[in-house]
């Protein structure tokens, strides 16, 4: 039989051991609690913050695009978008998804399917950029797992009128076309970040810390005049409709600076909508090329005069109105007989111009075209700009040299034509066209000033009685211009489709505005540049001169005289 005393001692020892063990455990727990809550608080704080403290992005506004007068062409407006926490919405309020879908005009099954497929995520877009009144109704529903987030939406006040120049952004406000793409880095702001405390529904309870300040994008001020852009677009649309043409372009340049005052194309598109055809999205004035036809004849005359083989009064016999070059017949619309070099431009004689071209070295004609910028991009930095085609003169055949003199065998853009005719107007100084106001744009001397002045005076006869561009004249102003009519190339030769065009400038005294108008495939009967493109040119030129406050030539002449009656332009370097 066991000793009662021994059993008692053993029991006491066990109780003591148990008490000691419990005491040690309690000490460890208390020590750990002290460590976590007093000495080392970061762990529990971090765990708590991980559940309630979040870093959220602060959206920022994309920079506006405005015209030269500060009128908006592209602006960003605040909107709200709806997103969901898939797990929370499906677990706590899946039965309310149809109500949300009905309010947003979406399919409930599609929303639920998208959420189910992304159930492991914490963020899924439901719909983006909704109107304010709709956002308020979503907020009133107070559906668990459904939230609203501030974003910005791009809006284009001029719609299709400026769309091909300005371009557009995608839903995340990243530039996709036009100047929106070319200057995306300039326009894009820097999003900010902050730490906030959120409740279990994801609502912000308190702003804790600003991590990075949001910086809005910078404003982009263009050389475009919104008023002139609108007028040019409407005149182009009317011309396209009147002549049942396929497309067209108009370019307006400020001669002293090279600034693009207007650039319009038709067909166009509305960047505010979702439907955008590839045909309407092209900025044809920069991306599409054409064989310019007779518009290049002034440059051939300039090259011939520069080479010393012609002068304005020199007579050229164009009889009988045709000539043969390498077995190919070159024709005028009629037999003009003997006429001056100036008359070759006035009447647009192919035969006379070819005679001048064949009398000079191919390298010299090529040099003139090259100096005027043909075969090279203009340097605007516009996405997709075409350089056109100007083959090296060493590869020219005799017939090619002849056809190049009246605008076949080379390809140019309307902007290249505007730049070249502006150089003639600006005493032989070539400038890089610019879309950005106050850009540094030094001129490059490519033609002797006296020679350029002579060619300008010769071009004035084209808009006067007997010339091919009388419909391009503007009351009160002396206008210089050259028309072009070219057949469109097709497989195996040239088709019966035409391009009507014109390039010119005004006023003759202190030239200020250069305009190029191109009408592609007119099909209502008329197709000559003087009948189709010249009236469009005349109206756009009239609008541009008025809006830019350019005084008529007689006032310009008076302004050019000093107190002694001497023309101050003659003593300018």
Residue 444: strand, helix, or coil: strand
Please give the pLDDT value at position 559.
46
Query: Is the pLDDT at 222 greater than 60, yes or no?
Result: yes
Annotated catalytic residues are 294
pLDDT value for 26: 73
Task: Specify the range with the lowest mean pLDDT, choosing from 100-104, 193-197, 403-407.
Answer: 193-197
Task: Using the predicted structure, report yes or no on whether residue 561 has a pLDDT greater than 70.
Answer: no
pLDDT of 555 strictly over 70 = no
Mean pLDDT for the chain overall: 87
pLDDT at 173: 87
**For residue 567, what pLDDT is reported?**
44
CA-CA distances (angstroms) from residue 359 to 336, 343, 401, 491, 521? 20, 18, 11, 32, 34
Provide CB contacts within 8 A for 500, sequence distance 6+.
243, 483, 484, 485, 518, 519, 522, 527, 528, 529, 531, 532, 533
Distance CA 67, CA 64 (A): 10
Q: What is the mean pLDDT of residues 446-457?
A: 97
Q: CA–CA separation, 302 vs 444, rounded Å? A: 17
Nearest to 547 by CA among 180, 333, 95, 230: 230
Q: Is the peptide bond between 320 and the residue preceding it cis, with omega within 30 degrees of 0?
A: yes
pLDDT at 558: 45
Tell me what the mean pLDDT of segment 224-237 comes to: 98
Query: Which pair of structure tokens corresponds to residue 281?
Result: 């999205």
Residues whose CB is less than 8 angstroms from the CB of residue 327 and which lie 6 or more positions away in sequence, other chains included: none
Nearest 5°: the CA angle 526, 531, 533 is: 105
Tokens of 155: 């809006």
Please give the structure tokens belonging to residue 253: 């340049």
**11-20, 309-318, 454-463: which range is least confident on average?**
11-20
Task: Tell me how far CA of residue 481 lies from CA of 208, 422, 533, in angstroms.
Answer: 68, 11, 11
Asked if residue 565 has pLDDT above 50, the reply is no
Going by DSSP bridges, is the β-strand pair 338-340/146-155 parallel, antiparallel, or unpaired? Answer: unpaired
pLDDT at 526 over 60: yes
- Please give the average per-residue pLDDT across 40-65, as a whole number: 66
Residue 266 has pLDDT above 90, yes or no: yes
Does residue 397 have a pLDDT over 90? yes
Per-residue confidence (pLDDT) for residue 213, from 0 to 100: 77
Q: Which CATH superfamily is domain 55-221 in?
A: Penicillin-binding protein 2a (Domain 2) (3.90.1310.10)
Pairwise pLDDT comparison (440 vs 418), residue with the higher score: 418
pLDDT for 1: 54
Nearest to 254 by CA among 549, 472, 456: 549
Q: Which residue has the higher pLDDT, 257 or 28?
A: 257
Percent of the chain with pLDDT over 70: 86
Long-range contacts for 200-209 (Cβ within 8 Å, ≥24 apart)?
Answer: 201/88, 201/144, 201/145, 202/85, 202/88, 202/145, 202/147, 203/147, 204/56, 205/52, 208/53
pLDDT at position 569 = 37
CA end-to-end span of the chain: 136
What does CATH list as the number for 226-268+284-571? 3.40.710.10
Taking residues 509-537, what's their average pLDDT?
96
Per-residue pLDDT of 377-395, as tens digits, reads: 999 999 999 999 999 999 9
Residue 548 has pLDDT above 50, yes or no: yes
**Alpha-carbon span 151 to 139, nearest angstrom:** 16
Element (H, E) at 554: helix 553-559
Return the percent helix, strand and coil in the chain, to nearest 5: 40, 25, 35
32-46, 278-292, 458-472: the lowest-pLDDT one: 32-46
The domain segmentation of the chain, as residue ranges, is 55-221, 226-268+284-571
Confidence (pLDDT) at 61: 84
Q: How far is CA 500 from the centre of its chain?
A: 25
Mean pLDDT across 322-337: 94
Least confident span in 64-78, 235-249, 276-290, 446-460: 276-290
Instruction: State the average pLDDT over residues 505-525.
Output: 96
Q: For 441-450, how does the pLDDT look when each residue is reduced to its tens digit (9 = 90+)? A: 899 999 999 9
Which residues 6+ apart lie within 8 Å of 278 measured at CB?
Answer: none
- 118: pLDDT strictly greater than 90: no
Q: What is the pLDDT of residue 6?
A: 66
Q: Tokens standing for 395?
A: 């590869």
Residue with tokens 């979702």: 274
Which of 11-25, 255-269, 299-313, 387-401 shows the lowest mean pLDDT across its residues?
11-25
């Amino acid at each position: 039989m066991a000793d009662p005393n021994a059993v008692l001692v053993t029991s006491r020892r066990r109780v003591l051991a148990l008490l000691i063990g419990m005491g040690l455990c309690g000490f460890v727990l208390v020590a750990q609690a002290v460590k976590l809550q007093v000495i080392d608080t970061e762990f529990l704080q971090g765990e708590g913050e991980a559940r309630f403290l979040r870093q959220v992005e602060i959206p920022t506004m994309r920079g506006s695009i405005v015209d030269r007068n500060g009128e908006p062409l592209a602006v960003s407006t605040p909107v709200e978008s709806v997103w969901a926490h898939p797990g929370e919405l499906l677990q706590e309020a899946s039965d309310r998804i149809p109500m949300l879908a009905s309010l947003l005009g979406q399919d409930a099954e599609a929303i639920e399917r998208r959420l189910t497929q992304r159930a492991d995520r914490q963020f899924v877009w439901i719909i983006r950029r909704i109107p304010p009144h709709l956002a308020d109704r979503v907020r009133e529903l107070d559906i668990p797992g459904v939230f609203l987030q501030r974003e910005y939406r791009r809006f284009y006040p001029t719609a299709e009128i400026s769309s091909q120049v300005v371009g557009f952004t995608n839903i995340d406000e990243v530039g996709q076309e036009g100047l929106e793409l070319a200057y995306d880095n300039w326009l894009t702001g820097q999003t900010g970040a902050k730490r906030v405390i959120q409740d279990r529904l994801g609502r912000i309870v308190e702003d804790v810390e600003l991590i990075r300040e949001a910086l809005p994008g910078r404003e982009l001020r263009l050389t475009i005049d919104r008023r002139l852009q609108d007028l040019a677009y409407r005149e182009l649309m009317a011309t396209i409709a009147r002549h049942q043409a396929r497309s067209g372009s108009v370019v307006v340049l400020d001669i002293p600076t090279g600034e693009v005052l207007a650039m319009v194309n038709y067909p166009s598109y509305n960047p505010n909508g979702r439907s955008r055809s590839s045909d309407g999205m092209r900025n044809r004035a920069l991306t599409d090329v054409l064989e310019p036809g007779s518009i290049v004849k002034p440059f051939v005359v300039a090259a011939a005069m520069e080479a010393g083989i012609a002068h304005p009064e020199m007579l050229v016999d164009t009889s009988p109105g045709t000539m043969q070059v390498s077995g190919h017949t070159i024709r005028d619309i009629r037999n003009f007989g003997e006429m001056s070099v100036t008359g070759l431009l006035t009447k647009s004689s192919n035969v006379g111009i070819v005679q001048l071209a064949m009398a000079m070295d191919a390298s010299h004609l090529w040099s003139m075209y090259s100096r005027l910028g043909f075969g090279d991009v203009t340097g605007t930095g516009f996405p997709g700009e075409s350089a056109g085609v100007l083959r090296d003169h060493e590869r020219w055949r005799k017939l090619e040299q002849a056809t190049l003199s009246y605008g076949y065998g080379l390809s140019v853009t309307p902007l290249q034509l505007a730049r070249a005719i502006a150089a003639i107007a600006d005493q032989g100084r070539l400038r890089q066209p610019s879309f950005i106001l106050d850009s540094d744009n030094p001129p490059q001397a490519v033609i002797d000033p006296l020679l350029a002045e002579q060619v300008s005076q010769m071009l004035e006869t084209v808009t006067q009685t007997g010339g091919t561009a009388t419909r391009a004249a503007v009351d009160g102003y002396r206008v210089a211009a050259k028309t072009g009519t070219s057949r469109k190339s097709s497989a195996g030769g040239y088709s019966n489709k035409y391009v009507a065009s014109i390039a010119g400038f005004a006023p003759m005294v202190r030239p200020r505005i250069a305009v190029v108008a191109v009408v592609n495939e007119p099909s209502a009967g008329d197709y000559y540049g003087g009948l189709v493109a010249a009236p469009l040119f005349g109206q756009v030129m009239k609008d541009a001169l008025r809006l830019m406050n350019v005084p008529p030539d007689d006032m310009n002449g008076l302004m050019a005289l000093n107190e002694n009656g001497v023309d101050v332009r003659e003593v300018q370097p």
